[in-house]
Amino acid sequence: MTTLSQAATATAPPRLQALRRFARAFLGRPTAVAGLAILVAVAALALAAPLFIHANDLDVIGATGRPMAPPSAHYPLGTDYAGRSILTLLIWGTRPSLAIGVIATALTVVLGTLIGLAAGHFGGAPSRVLMAFTDWFIALPTLVLAICLAAVLGQSDVSITIAIAVTSWPGTARLIRAQTLAVEARPFIERAKALGAGHVQLVFRQVLPNVAPLVLVSSTLTVAGAILTETTLAFLGLGNPTEVSWGAMINQALNSGAVTANAWWYVVPPGIAILIVVLGFVMVGRATEDILNPRMRARS
């Protein structure tokens, strides 16, 4: 029986074996498991929210509670300036933050990967120009650029998403370029070239699969940054004005005098929620990086 299962593991494709090794190492780290648990719980809450929260719970006009009331049995986290339950708003707020964070990261990864692959594969003058552009972009004050872009495009979720993607690709591009250079120095690329593979074949069939795991790791940390930027832009009033989000909640709290009124139940929960979600992504991202690239972690 044992020999049979051992034989099965040995004959499993190498990628599957690597995946199993990775899963074992991942589950062996308490912070990684805690981070993953946070993310699964938050994602489940975001997906299930429409099942128990109705549109009139979020409506400013139809709110039933007293404005800015402290926590009570009926409103466990108190109410906001319009008398809506903070707990309900808090749960609903997971949706825009996660959606914008993940979509913006997907755009960032596509953009950064394409530019990084091109810069790493073609080399020479085009690569130098691309990398100079990337470095120039990294140095710019990201938040200021994102604010300007979102302001020019108008208040909406789409413009926030675009602003985040446009300002956060350079990090991914640098990472992918370095990895592309490393992969292209390996003998199997030479073999593929000798067999007559063209640029597209080389980049997408040979290089990309070897770079992909790193893309995934960097994207976990990118989501963390994207969510922070999303809440900041929403706080500055650049998001969709009719939507409930954590950043907008804190903005309303500040504007409705919750700070001077000592309404801590209005200000504290959204911030804690952002902190927990961001920490979840950071913990998973750092642990994955640690497993896939132990040398890097020991130094940084």
- Chain positions contacting another protein, by CB under 8 A: 133, 136, 139-145, 147-149, 151-153, 224, 228, 231-232, 235-238, 247, 250, 253-254, 259-260, 262, 264, 267-268, 270-271, 274-275, 278-279, 282, 298-300
Angle at 231 between CA 218 and CA 278, to 5 degrees: 40
> If you search the block for the tokens 């960032």, which residue do you land on?
108
Minimum CB–partner distance for residue 263 and another protein (Å): 9
Closer by beta carbon to another protein, 60 or else 259: 259
Which CB atom, from 120 or from 285, has the smaller least distance to another protein?
285
- Maximum Cα–Cα distance for the chain, whole Å? 75
- CA–CA distance from 257 to each of 91, 228, 262 (Å)? 23, 23, 9
Pick the closer one to another protein by CB: 206 or 252. 252
C-beta closer to another protein: residue 211 or 238: 238
Q: What is the DSSP string of 161-205?
A: HHHHHHHHHHHHHHHHHHHHHHHHTSHHHHHHHHTT--HHHIIII
Q: Please state the closest distance from residue 25 (CB atom) to another protein, in A.
A: 19
Enter the DSSP assignment of 69: P
Question: Residue 206 in 3-state DSSP?
Answer: helix
The answer to whether the CB of 284 falls within 8 A of the CB of 221 is: no
Q: By C-beta, is 115 or 224 nearer to another protein? A: 224
Cβ within 8 Å of residue 62, ≥6 positions away: 56
79 pairs with which residues across the strands? 85
The helix/strand count (H/E) of the chain reads as: 14, 0
Per DSSP (E only), the strands in the chain are none
Give residue 11's Cα distance to chain centre: 36
The three-state secondary structure class of 116 is: helix
Closer to another protein by CB, 212 or 259: give it. 259
Tokens of 23: 């899963």
Q: Name the minimum Å distance from CB 288 to another protein.
A: 15
Residue 183: CB atoms within 10 Å: 18
Nearer to another protein, 26 or 133 (CB): 133
